[in-house]
Chains A and B, each alone.
Chain A
Amino acid sequence: MKADFYRGASANVPIAASVAAYGSVLGMLAAQKGLSWLDLLLMNSAVFAGSAQFVMVDMWSKHLPVIEMAFAVLVINLRYLLVGASLGPLFSGRSLLCKVFLMHLVADENWAVTMTEQRKGTASVWFLFGGGVMVFLCWCSGTLAGLMGGGLVSHPEYYALDFAFTAIFTALAVGLFQGKKDIPPWLAAGALALIAHHFLPGKWYIVIGGVGGAITAMLAAPKTPASKEGEHVPAS
């Protein structure tokens, strides 16, 4: 358990470093919007979701649109429903208390690293949690540094730091590629995401692409006769 925690934390160091850089941008925006370090720290600890926090800070004003904000966060974070569902096998056999405690620190980053690790068969809930703590610490350091110092990096786009997230998630997606059988779902996911991104506001494209990919995979004929274990065995 302890060993897995440290393994998870160290596996997330490279990605957490870019989380800190990204966080410093949020910190700068937060400073302009008049958030205090305590507001930001509360948000980091309670919400702990990068893109949702960007939108919250963006909507921050003298009179907070509390309901609109919550709705925006719901839409942006809808993918966590799928992220949570994909962690089912990892958490199987664990107590409800364990689930309740460990699920809070699940971000895109440590989830993706854990899913990659799971393909090797060496992931555990403590690996996930160790990664979560690492990402959390870097997220807090980055955002607070951005807030206090006016940003560690004044022009992140100059150093292509805005592409860091795309690059790292591309690498992590490739790490999850299961071979030929993933080609149709990925094509569907990509096409749907591009269409949704073009026509719909916000972050709907992530959920639409992800669900579309999963449905495409369901439509494919089962390679292994997995239906043997199910009830729908066609009578021969």
Chain B
Amino acid sequence: MFPQVDTQAVLAITLAALVTYSLRLGGLLLSARFPRTGRFRQGMDALPGSLLFALVIPSIVAEGAWGVVAAGLTAVVMLRTRNTLLAMVLGMAVIFAARRLTP
């Protein structure tokens, strides 16, 4: 019933988990030492958006012109409706259609 987990798998998973958790908690604990006003604050306010934008931009560009159309539609729908699910589905629909149309 229970599969065996070998030692090196436990070791690999534990190490990866420690690294990931330290980054999560470390970032939070460090943030308490950050200044709350001025330029630094401006940077921290812009960080979440910049980070997400940096995360998606290469995969948008990788889809070519249709990727830009899909992301643009997603952005417009999100701005107009604030409906994340609808924005996502319409963006995917563009890619789905583009892959059917362009062999």
Contacts of A205 in B (CB 8 A): 54, 58
Contacts of B61 in A (CB 8 A): 194
A15 to B87, CA, bound (A): 12
A34 to B85, CA, bound (A): 35
A-facing residues in B7-66 (Cβ within 8 Å): 8-17, 19-21, 23-32, 34-35, 37-61, 63
Q: Is the CB of A64 within 8 A of B12?
A: yes
Q: Is the CB of A56 within 8 A of B16?
A: yes
Counting residue pairs across A and B whose Cβ atoms lie within 8 Å, the total is: 300
Residue A173 contacts which of B8, B10, B49 (CB distance < 8 angstroms)? B49
Q: Is the CB of A175 within 8 A of B84?
A: yes
B57–chain A nearest beta-carbon distance, Å: 5
Contacts of A79 in B (CB 8 A): 51, 55
Q: Mark A75-112, 1 if CB is under 8 A from B, else 0.
A: 00111111111111001100000011001101010001
**Range, interface on chain A:** 35 or more
Contacts of A157 in B (CB 8 A): 99
Q: Is the CB of B56 within 8 A of A169?
A: yes
Q: Is the CB of A206 within 8 A of B21?
A: no
Q: Contacts A64-B9, A168-B88, A193-B57 known; A84 to B49 CB distance under 8 Å?
A: no
Q: Contacts A73-B19, A104-B21 known; A170 to B71 CB distance under 8 Å?
A: yes
Contacts of B29 in A (CB 8 A): 84, 99
Q: Is the CB of A69 within 8 A of B91?
A: no
Q: Contacts A166-B71, A217-B43 known; A208 to B59 CB distance under 8 Å?
A: no
Q: Is the CB of A213 within 8 A of B50?
A: yes
Contacts of A14 in B (CB 8 A): 84-85, 88
Q: Contacts A49-B20, A160-B95 known; A83 to B84 CB distance under 8 Å?
A: no
B5 at the interface (CB under 8 A from A): yes
Q: Is the CB of A213 within 8 A of B47?
A: yes
A234 at the interface (CB under 8 A from B): no
Contacts of B20 in A (CB 8 A): 47-49, 52, 73, 77, 80
Q: Mark A182-200, 1 if CB is under 8 A from B, else 0.
A: 1001101110111001000
List 20 contacting pairs A-B, 8 Å CB cutoff, sorted by A: A47-B16, A64-B11, A66-B8, A81-B26, A85-B34, A88-B31, A103-B21, A116-B84, A160-B93, A163-B91, A163-B95, A166-B56, A168-B88, A172-B52, A178-B49, A182-B49, A190-B53, A193-B54, A209-B51, A213-B46
Instruction: Show the binding face of A for B, using Cβ within 8 Å.
Output: 14-15, 18, 36-39, 42-43, 46-49, 52, 56, 63-64, 66-67, 69-70, 73-74, 77-88, 91-92, 99-100, 103-104, 106, 108, 112-113, 115-116, 157-161, 163-178, 181-182, 185-186, 188-190, 192-194, 197, 205-206, 208-210, 212-220, 222, 226-227, 229-230, 232
Instruction: Show the binding face of B for A, using Cβ within 8 Å.
Output: 2-5, 8-17, 19-21, 23-32, 34-35, 37-61, 63, 67, 70-71, 74-75, 77-79, 82, 84-85, 87-89, 91-93, 95-96, 99
* Besides A167-B89, A170-B75, A214-B47, 11 new A-B residue pairs in contact (Cβ under 8 A), listed by A number: A66-B11, A80-B24, A84-B30, A85-B27, A103-B24, A160-B99, A166-B70, A167-B88, A188-B50, A213-B53, A230-B35
